[in-house]
DNA sequence: ACTGGATCCTGACTGC
DNA sequence: TGCAGTCAGGATCCAG
């Protein structure tokens, strides 16, 4: 799935076309996503003016004058801004939906701006589209999320937080980083990359890592997320930005997906180990 | 309170 | 070429 940088890339693209626009129509063709698409989505959003597109962890927060909708991309979700719309006889854009095109959001032309069609595509249907009303922070999908590792509190504060919350915990560091209640929006790729940059073995018991090393880890996390956002995210297989571009960070991963290849720091082969049914990639020499 | 495993679903890839 | 098996970027729920 899209991790934090991919969601951030999507957020920016959606914000650039949607903010200030009025949504005319929402069409849901398939409600069976991770949770059923809220039945009130269509009626709440029709006529709403988009005020902002935010992001919390990996959740897109669509703020309108009538309330807030949440969009999660799951493992395979993408929003695209459809190019080259033709006008139908009725004057509305036409673009026939393909398989797995579950939701359309249509904005009619207004004040010289042309019509836009946003389309949500999600083969695995692990994504979500939910109505959160006027108090999104209390919505179950957002309540209880840990602090943002990028663009929030500084690395020292995040590092201290992780250190404090990890005392006496025996689970591997990697598991801690993937737990959104401790730190928000970190997935498998960037957990691997940050641990490598910080020189910490991802399998090390989280409770046996010093405060200083957690600070270094938080700095590495912020740095790698920064670079990945700059590159428009990581495309492993099917992630696409709303303009159809693939993310360009994939080629810059130092460990993720590189088992057997040389560590860029020391040249020893990168190892892959499966833990909790997920792959961990690390350099046994650089990471302790 | 923590922990690991199972789970939702489809598509791409691997190996026979 | 075809087919079965394996794996995947997430996050929740559950039993122990």
Q: What is the pLDDT of residues A148-161, one digit of tens each?
A: 999 889 999 999 99
Q: What is the pLDDT of residue A274?
A: 87
DSSP, residue by residue, chain A: ---HHHHHHHHHHHHHHHTTPBP-EEEES--BSSSBPPTTHHHHHTTPBEEEEEEETTEEEEEETTEEEEEE-TTT-EEEE--SPEEPTTSSEE----TTEEEEEEE--BTTBPPEEEEEE-TT---EEEEEET-GGGSTTTTT----SSSSS-HHHHHHHHHHHHTT--SBHHHHHH-TTTSTT--HHHHHHHHHHHT--TTSBGGGS-HHHHHHHHHHHHHHHHHHHHTT-B-SSS---TTSPPPB-GGG-SSTT-TTSBPTTT-PBPEEEEETTEEEEE-TTT--
Q: Give the CA-to-C1' distance from A2 to C11 in angstroms.
A: 13
Q: What is the pLDDT of residue A76?
A: 93
The percent of residues above 90 in pLDDT, for chain A, comes to 80
Q: Give the CA-to-C1' distance from A80 to B6 in angstroms.
A: 32
Going by their DSSP bridges, the two strands A116-121 and A101-107 should be labelled as antiparallel
Active site (annotated) includes residue A212: no
Residue given tokens 């999104």 in the structure block: A136
Mean pLDDT of chain A: 92
Catalytic residue among A34, A56, A58, A141: A58
Structure tokens at A284: 């046994």
Q: What is the pLDDT of residue A228?
A: 93
Lowest mean pLDDT among A76-80, A135-139, A185-189, A249-253: A249-253
pLDDT digits (tens, 9 = 90+) for A93-103: 568 899 999 99
Active site (annotated) includes residue A3: yes
pLDDT above 50 for A84: no
pLDDT above 60 for A86: no
Under the banding of pLDDT at 50, 70 and 90, the label for residue A247 is confident
More reliable by pLDDT, A64 or A87: A64
pTM over 0.85: yes
pLDDT above 60 for A87: no
Report chain C positions within 7 A of protein CB atoms.
7-12
pLDDT above 50 for A186: yes
């Amino acid at each position: 799935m899209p991790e934090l940088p991919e969601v951030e890339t999507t957020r920016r693209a959606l914000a650039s076309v949607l903010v200030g626009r009025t949504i005319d129509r929402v069409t849901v063709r398939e409600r069976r996503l991770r949770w059923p698409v809220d039945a009130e989505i269509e009626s709440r959003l029709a006529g709403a003016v988009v005020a902002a597109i935010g992001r919390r962890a990996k959740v897109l927060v669509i703020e309108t004058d009538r309330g807030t909708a949440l969009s999660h991309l799951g493992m395979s979700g993408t929003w695209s801004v459809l190019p080259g719309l033709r006008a139908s006889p009725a004057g509305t854009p036409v673009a026939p939906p393909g398989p797995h095109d579950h939701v359309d959001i249509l904005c009619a032309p207004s004040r010289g701006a042309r019509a836009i069609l946003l389309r949500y595509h999600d083969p695995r249907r692990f994504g979500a589209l939910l109505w959160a009303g006027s108090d999104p922070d209390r919505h179950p999908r957002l309540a209880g999320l840990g602090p943002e590792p990028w663009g929030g509190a500084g690395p020292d504060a995040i590092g201290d937080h992780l250190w404090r919350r990890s005392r006496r915990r025996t689970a591997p560091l990697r598991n801690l980083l993937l737990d959104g209640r401790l730190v928000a929006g970190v997935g498998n790729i960037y957990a691997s990359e940050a641990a490598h940059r910080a020189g910490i073995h991802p399998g090390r018991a989280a409770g046996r890592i010093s405060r200083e090393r957690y600070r270094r880890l938080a700095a590495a996390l912020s740095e790698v997320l920064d670079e990945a956002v700059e590159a428009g995210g990581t495309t492993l297989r099917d992630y696409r930005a709303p303009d159809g571009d693939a993310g360009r960070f994939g080629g810059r991963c130092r460990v993720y997906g590189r088992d057997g290849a040389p560590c860029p720091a020391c040249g020893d082969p990168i190892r892959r180990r499966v833990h909790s049914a997920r792959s961990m990639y690390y350099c046994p020499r650089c990471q302790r």
